[in-house]
Amino acid sequence: MGIEIRAMEEQDIPETIRVMKEAWVHSYESIEERYYPREAHDFDMSLNTVERYTGSMEYEYGFFFIAEVDGKIAGSIRGEIIGKSGFGMIRNIAVHPNYLRKGTGRALMEHAVDYLKAEGCHKVSLNTMPVLLPAINLYLKMGFVPEAYLAKQWWGVDFIYMSLWFDKIG
């Protein structure tokens, strides 16, 4: 199985949207349903539009990578570097249910981390939910640590803020 990570291009957008929608529906139905409000999930899903993906792809501080497994889009990761601050945020990562547990999530994360390091970042953070154990395990394996517990954050739901520092500063 060959996994290739590359920047998303305009022609990838419709397929990437399909893959991400199916990935998040699967995650919602198999893990999140009793934790994350349906209204929140529906809102998140409504953001999967060509216009928004195009905007993310063109955003000057953003990055948007897709994973291709044997030539087919299997997942994606996107985020941003906050200006010239050297601080990166991962905003979204998901892998399609047909490709779970085959190393794609890790390959996406490693690619994003390598990209952020090459861009001179000293730190990357993300928000996750306590129920998303596959994701939390992946982040811990990558060296992320829980930096803060965000009680009753978005939609009144608890989140965990996790971070990885690339080197010591100050």
Q: Which is nearer to ligand COA, 66 or 93 (CB)?
A: 93
Q: Which of residues 137-166 bind ligand COA (CB under 6 A)?
A: 137-138, 141
- We find the least distance from the C-beta atom of residue 153 to ligand COA, in angstroms, to be 13
Residue count, binding to ligand COA (CB under 6 A) = 20
Q: Is 140 left (phi over 0), alpha (psi -120 to 50) or beta?
A: alpha
Calculate ∠ Cα 116-149-28, nearest 5°. Answer: 80
- Residue 20 makes contact with ligand COA by CB under 6 A: no
Q: Which residues contact 121 (CB under 8 A, 6 or more apart)?
A: 81, 86, 87, 88, 166
d(Cα 113, Cα 108) in Å, to the nearest integer?
Answer: 9
Supply angle C-alpha 160, 85, 49, rounded to 5.
60
The least CB distance from residue 169 to ligand COA, in Å, is 25
- Check binding of 17 to ligand COA (CB under 6 A): no
Segment lying near ligand COA (by CB under 6 A), choices 10-18, 48-56, 117-125, 135-143: 135-143
**Which residues lie near ligand COA (CB under 6 A)?**
23, 27, 93-95, 100-106, 128, 132-135, 137-138, 141
